[in-house]
């Protein structure tokens, strides 16, 4: 694979970098302290992103694993790659603000991955959050207990979803529910529930360690009726295919979460290099064993960061080229999430009091980084998925 960023995305990446420095960084601390306040500054930025996406490959949370209508067979760098590269730069500015961007919700990725053509048109431009996790169902998405009962031309939804990113602000929520608990994973489907639908209630907003600019909601569904046409994708329960159709969403979004981690770690790493620039060899000419402790730690963090970045790019490239990337998506997410945690905390440690106080953003990046190793599947779940792929075992065979 080509290890350089595609030239056609240079302008996009440069623009995202400028936005990170000139729009997101200046308001980063403001919304870290004003948790649950909506960042109004993002409205104009979101409009610009919409225009860029309509023009071609841009920063689009709805990047699909198999982009519809694409029949090309050559090496392709498409919307998954452009989205990942843009997210790296935006999270270089602020991860919580990136997660607050209108019409860039994780629910949009679910719509792109499994919706039919009519649904793609109908939900175009809708800001969709994703509601998967339940009080008794965390990393095991197959253990979902929220129910969807078919009555005439509607589904009646009952259950509770927690930790819904942008659950209060988004125009709609893509929620996962089971059509029949007896049939297990195969009966789990996703539904689009628009904001204001009777029976859908935002119970509370969570107070969090990091990404405070992003709202995280608990939503209750009580006899909530949605049109049958809001069930995404195939309405039939295919026991043979099982959970595979739904899990395509994660194959799409996990490389993007890896990109968030790469961007957040990049911010901390660059700042620590600025602080200790007089102790670092810009040309890397000094042998590693002859470096100072700070220099050696910095060089090691750079190497780990580069490995995470390349794994993320590989997973995104595979998605653009219609290659099954479940294993690589989990590898990239596991590596980037762990590396981001380690780098941001180590930078706080190396910077001592400078890193620990609020005069710098280092402590904030350390707090923001933790969620990147948790949501979209924890570190432990990613390692389990990777082990299943390596050993050729199913989820029932290797738990």
* pLDDT, tens digit (0-9, with 9 covering 90-100), for 222-253: 999 999 999 998 888 765 555 555 567 788 88
pTM for the structure as a whole: 0.93
CA distance 254 to 312: 9
Yes or no: say if 208 and 39 are a contact pair by the CB < 8 Å rule. Answer: no
CATH class of 128-230: mainly beta
Domain boundaries along the sequence of the chain: 7-122, 128-230, 244-391
**Which among 11, 10, 63 has a CA at the least distance from the CA of 319?**
63
CATH node for 7-122: 1.10.540.10
Q: What are phi and psi of 289, to 5 degrees?
A: -75, -10
∠ CA(320), CA(100), CA(214), 5° rounding?
120
**Which among 15, 8, 16 has a CA at the least distance from the CA of 78?**
8
Yes or no: say if 322 and 66 are a contact pair by the CB < 8 Å rule. Answer: yes
The model's confidence at residue 184, banded by pLDDT at 50, 70 and 90, is confident
Is the pLDDT at 109 greater than 90? The verdict is no
Q: What is the pLDDT of residue 290?
A: 93
The model's confidence at residue 4, banded by pLDDT at 50, 70 and 90, is confident
Known active-site residue 376: yes
Q: Does domain 244-391 have CATH number 2.40.50.140?
A: no
The catalytic residue among 304, 360, 363, 376 is 376
Yes or no: say if 218 and 206 are a contact pair by the CB < 8 Å rule. Answer: yes
* pLDDT, tens digit (0-9, with 9 covering 90-100), for 33-78: 999 999 999 998 888 777 666 655 556 654 554 545 556 667 888 8
Yes or no: say if 253 and 104 are a contact pair by the CB < 8 Å rule. Answer: no
Q: What is the pLDDT of residue 274?
A: 97
């Amino acid at each position: 694979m080509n290890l350089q960023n595609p030239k056609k995305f240079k302008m996009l990446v440069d623009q995202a970098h400028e936005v990170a420095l000139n729009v997101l960084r200046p308001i980063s601390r403001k919304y870290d302290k004003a948790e649950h306040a909506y960042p109004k500054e993002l409205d104009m930025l979101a409009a610009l992103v919409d225009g860029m996406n309509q023009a071609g490959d841009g920063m689009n949370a709805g990047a699909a694993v198999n982009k519809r209508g694409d029949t090309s067979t050559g090496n392709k760098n498409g919307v998954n790659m452009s989205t990942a590269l843009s997210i790296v730069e935006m999270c270089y500015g602020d991860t919580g603000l990136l997660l607050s961007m209108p019409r860039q919700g994780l629910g949009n990725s679910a719509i792109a991955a499994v919706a039919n053509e009519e649904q793609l048109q109908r939900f175009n431009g809708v800001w969709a959050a994703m509601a998967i996790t339940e009080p008794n169902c965390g990393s095991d998405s197959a253990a979902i207990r929220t129910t969807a009962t078919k009555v005439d031309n509607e589904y009646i939804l009952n259950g509770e979803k927690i930790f819904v990113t942008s659950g209060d602000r988004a125009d709609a929520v893509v929620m996962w529910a089971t059509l029949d608990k007896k049939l297990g994973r195969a009966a789990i489907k996703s539904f689009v529930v628009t904001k204001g639908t009777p029976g859908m209630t935002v119970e509370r907003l969570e107070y969090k360690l990091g990404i405070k600019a992003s709202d995280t909601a608990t939503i209750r569904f009580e006899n909530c009726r949605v049109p049958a046409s809001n069930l995404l994708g195939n309405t039939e329960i295919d026991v043979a295919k099982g959970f595979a159709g739904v899990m395509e969403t994660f194959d799409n979004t996990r490389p993007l979460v890896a990109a968030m981690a790469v961007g957040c770690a990049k911010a901390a790493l660059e700042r620590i290099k600025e602080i200790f620039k007089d102790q670092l060899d810009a040309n890397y000419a000094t042998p590693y064993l002859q470096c100072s402790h700070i220099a050696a730690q910095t060089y090691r963090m750079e190497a780990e960061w580069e490995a995470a970045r390349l794994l993320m790019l590989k997973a995104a490239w595979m998605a653009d080229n219609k290659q099954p990337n479940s294993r690589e998506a989990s590898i990239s997410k596991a590596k980037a999430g762990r590396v981001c945690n380690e780098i941001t905390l180590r930078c706080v440690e190396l910077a001592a009091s400078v890193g620990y106080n609020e005069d710098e953003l280092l402590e904030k990046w350390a707090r923001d980084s933790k969620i990147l190793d948790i949501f979209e599947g924890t570190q432990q779940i990613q390692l389990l998925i990777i082990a299943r792929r390596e050993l050729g075992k199913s989820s029932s065979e290797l738990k």
